[in-house]
C-alpha cells in the first residue's frame, strides 16, 4: 500500500483512551510494532494519509514526519498549523528579560530554537497549557516517580520553567526559544520537598544522548557515585542547572556544583546579581531570573524569582544558538557563551553575565 502526501497539518487526539503509536501499519507487524501511546489533547503533525487496517468501518491512517502511524478515528477534525512569526512585528510587547538582552533581534534573524530538544527535569508540565502545547513533546516525556507517562504538573514550577524556554506568545507571553521542543522529566512533586538521588540519576541517564540539553532548576546538597557517573557520562548532552538560592551559603546545589555542569545564577532588571544567588566558586554565568512572568499550572501565568528561572533562560539561549549553528556541539556553544560574558562587580564579588548579542555573533 502507498500513502498520499499532504500539506502538514495538525490533528488532535479526542479520546481518553491510550492511543497506540505504531512504527508500521498494523498488517505489517501487528502488536509487535507498538512504540508508545498518546493521550487526549495530544497533537500530531500529519505528513501522509494511508489506507490500512479497517476499524469501525474506517481504514484511513495518518503518518507523521517520523514515520509513525495512527488510526484517523482517534482524532478530531483538522487543526490548521499556525506558524510562529514575529519578524518585523512592532505590536509585540516583550518583558525586560527578552527586550533588554537582544532576544528579539535573534528572532528577527530567523533563529527561534527550531530543531532543538530540551529535557526539563522538574515537577512536570501543564500538558494542556495553550502556550506550551506547540512545544511539548509528550512521547519522550516521562514520570520518574511513578514510572509512567503522566507528567501533569500540580505544582507549577516545571510549567513556569518550561514557559521561560518555549512559550509561544499566547496572551503575549513568550519564551526565549519559542520553537524549541520541551520534554518533561518529572523528578519531584515539589522542588521544596527535595529530590531522590536515584530518581535524579535515572532521569539524567534516560535523557543522555536523547536530547540536546538537560535543564535542571532544582538541586540537592550532595550527590552519590551513581549521580556523579550519570553526569560525567553526558558527553553530547549538556546539563544546565541552577546554582541554588541562599543569602548565607557559599556552596551551591548539585548538579550545578559539578564541574562539567553549566551552573547558573540570577540577575535582576538592572543586571545586578540577586541577593539570593549562591556565591559559589563554581558559579558559571548569570542570566535574568528575578520577577519573571511565565506560564503556570491550570493554564495560568505567574511571576516568580530565583536561579530556577535563570536556568531555563540560559537553556533557551543555547537553543537559539544551536538552531543557528547545528553543526556545533553543545559543549562548544557553552564555552562560547562563557567566553562572551561580561564581568561585573557586586561589592567584593565578581560575576559573569550573559551577553546574548555578542554570543550569537560568535556562534
Residue 206 Cα distances to 151, 230, 244, angstroms: 15, 9, 24
* Domain count across the chain: 2
91 in a domain, yes or no? Answer: no
87 in a domain, yes or no? Answer: no
The pLDDT of residue 31 is 65
Mean pLDDT of 84-91: 56
Q: Cα(33)–Cα(51) distance, rounded to whole angstroms?
A: 17
> What is the tens place of the pLDDT at every residue in 127-151?
999 999 889 998 899 999 999 999 9
Query: Do residues 310 and 274 share a domain?
Result: yes
Q: Is 32 considered catalytic here?
A: no
Q: Is 308 considered catalytic here?
A: yes
Of the residues 95, 117, 153, 157, only one is catalytic, namely 157
Query: Do residues 54 and 110 share a domain?
Result: no
Closest by alpha carbon to 292, among 318, 320, 316, 259?
A: 316
Query: Do residues 306 and 168 share a domain?
Result: yes
Q: CATH no. for residue 280?
A: 3.40.50.200
The pLDDT of residue 192 is 85
Query: Do residues 264 and 216 share a domain?
Result: yes
Query: Do residues 106 and 207 share a domain?
Result: yes
Of the residues 280, 308, 315, 356, only one is catalytic, namely 308
88 in a domain, yes or no? Answer: no
Q: What are phi and psi of 109, to 5 degrees?
A: -80, -5
252 in a domain, yes or no? Answer: yes
Q: Cα(150)–Cα(18) distance, rounded to whole angstroms?
A: 12
Task: Mention every residue, 6+ apart, whose C-beta is less than 8 A from residue 335.
Answer: none
The pLDDT of residue 166 is 97
The count of other CB atoms within 10 Å of the CB of residue 45 is: 13
* DSSP-based three-state secondary structure for 33: helix
Query: Do residues 158 and 263 share a domain?
Result: yes
pLDDT at 309 over 90: yes
Cell of 44: 500530531
Of the residues 68, 95, 122, 323, only one is catalytic, namely 122
Q: CATH no. for residue 31?
A: 2.30.30
* DSSP-based three-state secondary structure for 236: coil
206 in a domain, yes or no? Answer: yes
Tell me what percent of the residues of the chain surpass a pLDDT of 90.
70
Tell me what percent of the residues of the chain surpass a pLDDT of 70.
93
Q: Is 202 considered catalytic here?
A: no
DSSP label at 13?
B
Query: Do residues 186 and 316 share a domain?
Result: yes
> What is the tens place of the pLDDT at every residue in 322-357?
999 999 999 999 999 999 999 999 999 999 999 999
> What is the tens place of the pLDDT at every residue in 8-44?
677 888 887 788 899 888 877 666 788 888 877 777 8
The pLDDT of residue 85 is 57
Please answer whether residues 11 and 43 qualify as being in contact, where contact means their C-beta atoms are separated by less than 8 angstroms: yes
Q: In sequence order, what DSSP letters do the residues of 170-211 get, joined into one string?
A: GGG-B-S-TTSEEEEEE--S-GGG---HHHHHHHHHHHTTTS
> What is the tens place of the pLDDT at every residue in 234-281?
999 999 999 999 999 999 999 999 999 999 999 999 999 999 999 999
Given 74, 107, 135, the domain boundary residue is: 74
Given 74, 105, 136, the domain boundary residue is: 74
Query: Do residues 61 and 156 share a domain?
Result: no
Query: Do residues 225 and 285 share a domain?
Result: yes
Q: Which domain holds residue 17?
A: 3-74
> What is the tens place of the pLDDT at every residue in 28-85?
766 678 888 887 777 787 888 898 888 888 888 988 877 889 998 888 755 544 456 5
> Does the pTM exceed 0.85?
no
> What is the tens place of the pLDDT at every residue in 181-239?
999 999 999 988 889 999 999 999 999 999 999 999 999 999 999 999 999 999 999 99
Cell of 230: 550519570
The pLDDT of residue 80 is 46
155 in a domain, yes or no? Answer: yes
- Cis peptide preceding 255, ω within 30 of 0: yes
Query: Do residues 131 and 221 share a domain?
Result: yes
Query: Do residues 278 and 137 share a domain?
Result: yes
Mean pLDDT of 118-132: 96
26 in a domain, yes or no? Answer: yes
pLDDT at 363 over 70: yes
Query: Do residues 245 and 312 share a domain?
Result: yes
81 in a domain, yes or no? Answer: no
Amino acid at each position: 500500500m502507498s500513502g498520499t502526501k499532504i500539506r502538514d497539518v495538525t490533528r488532535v487526539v479526542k479520546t481518553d483512551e491510550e492511543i497506540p503509536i505504531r512504527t508500521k501499519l498494523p498488517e505489517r507487524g501487528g502488536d509487535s510494532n507498538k512504540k508508545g501511546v498518546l493521550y487526549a489533547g495530544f497533537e500530531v503533525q500529519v505528513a501522509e494519509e494511508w489506507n490500512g487496517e479497517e476499524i469501525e468501518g474506517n481504514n484511513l491512517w495518518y503518518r507523521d514526519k517520523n514515520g509513525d502511524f495512527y488510526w484517523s478515528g482517534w482524532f478530531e477534525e483538522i487543526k490548521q498549523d499556525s506558524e510562529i512569526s514575529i519578524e518585523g512585528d512592532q505590536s509585540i510587547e516583550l518583558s525586560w528579560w527578552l527586550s533588554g538582552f537582544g532576544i528579539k533581534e535573534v528572532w528577527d534573524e530567523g533563529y527561534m530554537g527550531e530543531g532543538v530538544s530540551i529535557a526539563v527535569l522538574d515537577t512536570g508540565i501543564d500538558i494542556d497549557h495553550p502556550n506550551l502545547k506547540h512545544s511539548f513533546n509528550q512521547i519522550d516525556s516521562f514520570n520518574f516517580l511513578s514510572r509512567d507517562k503522566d507528567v501533569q504538573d500540580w505544582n507549577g514550577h516545571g510549567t513556569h520553567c518550561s514557559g521561560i524556554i518555549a512559550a509561544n506568545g499566547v496572551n503575549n507571553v513568550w519564551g526565549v526559544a519559542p520553537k524549541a521542543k520541551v520534554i518533561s522529566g518529572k523528578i519531584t512533586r515539589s522542588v521544596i520537598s527535595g529530590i531522590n538521588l536515584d530518581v535524579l540519576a535515572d532521569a539524567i541517564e534516560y535523557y543522555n544522548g536523547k536530547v540536546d540539553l538537560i535543564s535542571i532548576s532544582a538541586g540537592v546538597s550532595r550527590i552519590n557515585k551513581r549521580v556523579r557517573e550519570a553526569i560525567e557520562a553526558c558527553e553530547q548532552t549538556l546539563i544546565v542547572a541552577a546554582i541554588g538560592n541562599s543569602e548565607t551559603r557559599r556552596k551551591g546545589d548539585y548538579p550545578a556544583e559539578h564541574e562539567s555542569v553549566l551552573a547558573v545564577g540570577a540577575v535582576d532588571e538592572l543586571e545586578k546579581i540577586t541577593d539570593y544567588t549562591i556565591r559559589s566558586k563554581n558559579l558559571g554565568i548569570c542570566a535574568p531570573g528575578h520577577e519573571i512572568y511565565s506560564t503556570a499550572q491550570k493554564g495560568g501565568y505567574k511571576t516568580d524569582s530565583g536561579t530556577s528561572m535563570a536556568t531555563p533562560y540560559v537553556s533557551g539561549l543555547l537553543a537559539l544558538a544551536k538552531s543557528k549553528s547545528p553543526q556545533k556541539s553543545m559543549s562548544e556553544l557553552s564555552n562560547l557563551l562563557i567566553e562572551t560574558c561580561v564581568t561585573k562587580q557586586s561589592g567584593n564579588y565578581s560575576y559573569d553575565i550573559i551577553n546574548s548579542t555578542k554570543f550569537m555573533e560568535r556562534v
